């Protein structure tokens, strides 16, 4: 009988701990906190010339927030967020647009992305052969 009472107490405390936060979320959802309903999507993008993260100094850096709405210092935040939403945040899926022609001059450009996309940690880096190729990938994502 004593073990039954102990289990009942543990189950009761567990239920209180689990259900209490849920009722708070339900109340918050009805209140003035709509941003709590979105998984965060906030990124820092950098660009610099060179072909190694160890030797490249970032020349430009921008912030990009996509949830609950596009914002940040990225000059085309709305279209960059739309491009990323189209590929579900997969930077490798940002391919070169058709009809864009770039020279084959090798002047490497390194792009890095760090942050959170829909609540998941993101760390991405890519070396493009030149700025034209970089700008042709991902439409407006890398255009900063």
- Provide the residue-wise pLDDT of the chain in tens; the chain has 144 residues: 443 333 333 333 333 333 333 333 333 444 444 555 768 899 999 999 998 888 899 999 999 999 888 999 999 999 999 999 999 999 999 988 788 889 999 999 999 999 999 999 999 999 999 999 998 886 789 988
CA-to-CA separations, 126 to 39, 44, 46, 85, 113, in angstroms, rounded: 25, 14, 11, 19, 9
Q: Tell me, what's the pLDDT at 15?
A: 34
CA atoms within 13 A on the CB side of 99: 1
This model's pTM is above 0.75: no
- What DSSP character marks residue 36? G
pLDDT value at residue 28: 40
Contact 47, 60 (CB under 8 A): yes
pLDDT for 36 equals 57
If DSSP codes are grouped into helix, strand and coil, which group holds residue 54?
coil
Residue 130, judged by CB atoms within 10 A of its CB (0-12, 13-18, 19+), counts as middle
pLDDT of residue 98: 82
Domain boundaries 38-136, corresponding CATH code: 3.30.350.10
Distance CA 114, CA 41 (A): 11
Residue 138: predicted pLDDT? 67
The side-by-side arrangement of strands in the sheet containing 60-67 is 60-67, 41-49, 109-117, 120-128
Q: What is the reported pLDDT for 139? A: 72
Per the DSSP assignment, residues forming a β-bridge with 28 are none
């Amino acid at each position: 009988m004593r073990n039954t009472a102990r289990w009942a107490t543990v189950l009761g405390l567990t239920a209180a701990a689990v259900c209490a936060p849920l009722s708070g979320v339900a109340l918050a959802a009805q209140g003035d906190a709509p941003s709590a309903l979105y998984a965060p999507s906030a990124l820092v993008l950098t660009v610099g010339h060179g072909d190694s993260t160890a030797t490249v100094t970032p020349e430009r850096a921008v912030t990009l927030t996509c949830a609950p709405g596009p914002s940040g210092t990225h000059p085309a935040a709305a279209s960059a967020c739309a491009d990323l939403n189209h590929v579900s945040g997969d930077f490798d899926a940002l391919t070169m647009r058709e009809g864009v022609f770039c020279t084959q001059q090798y002047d490497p450009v390194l792009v890095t992305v760090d942050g959170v996309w829909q609540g998941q940690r993101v760390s991405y880096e890519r070396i493009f052969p030149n700025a034209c190729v970089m700008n042709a990938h991902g439409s407006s994502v890398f255009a900063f």
